[in-house]
Amino acid sequence: MSTVGQVAQKVRSKNAGPFWLTIDIFCGSDSAFRQIGNAVSTARVADLFQVAPDTVKRFDIADLHVIKFSMPRPVVQGDIRDRDMHGAGWAPLLSELAVN
C-alpha cells in the first residue's frame, strides 16, 4: 500500500488568509497525477479534515501535475481553539492517506 506522500513529489498546506486553508499536491509526473487524482476524491478529503464536502474547492491542474484543495478553516486562524497558526499540519495528514 502506498500513501499520497510516497507517490507525490511534495505536499504542502498553508493558510490562504485567516479564514481559508489550501493544500497543494505536487504529483511530479503524469502517472502520479492520475493515480493520486483517482484515489483522492473530494469526499475523502472532506472526511479527512471533517469539513462539509460542498465547501471543498478542488483544482486538477494537469499542466503542473498539481491537485489543489481549498476549504474554509474549521477553526479560524488564531482562534483560541486553533492549534496550527499557519496551517502547516494538514499536509502531513493528507500525505498519509492511502492511494491504492
- In the complex, which residues of this chain contact another protein (CB under 8 A)? 14-20, 22, 24, 26, 48-50, 57, 59, 61, 63-64, 66, 68, 70, 72-73, 76-81, 83-86, 89-90, 93, 96
φ/ψ of residue 89, rounded to 5? -80, -5
Residue with cell 505536499: 11
Q: Could you tell me how far CA 59 lies from the centroid of its own chain?
A: 11
- Which candidate, 8, 12, 37, 7, places its Cα nearest to that of 22? 12
What's the min distance (Å) between Cβ of 61 and another protein?
Answer: 7
| Choice between 15 and 34, CB closer to another protein | 15
**Minimum separation from the CB atom of position 5 to another protein (A):** 12
DSSP character at residue 14: E
**What's the closest the beta carbon of residue 47 comes to another protein, in angstroms?**
10
Pick between residue 33 and residue 73 the one whose CB is nearest to another protein. Answer: 73
Cβ proximity to another protein, 7 vs 49, nearer residue: 49
Q: Which of 19, 18, 56 is nearest to 40 (CA)?
A: 56
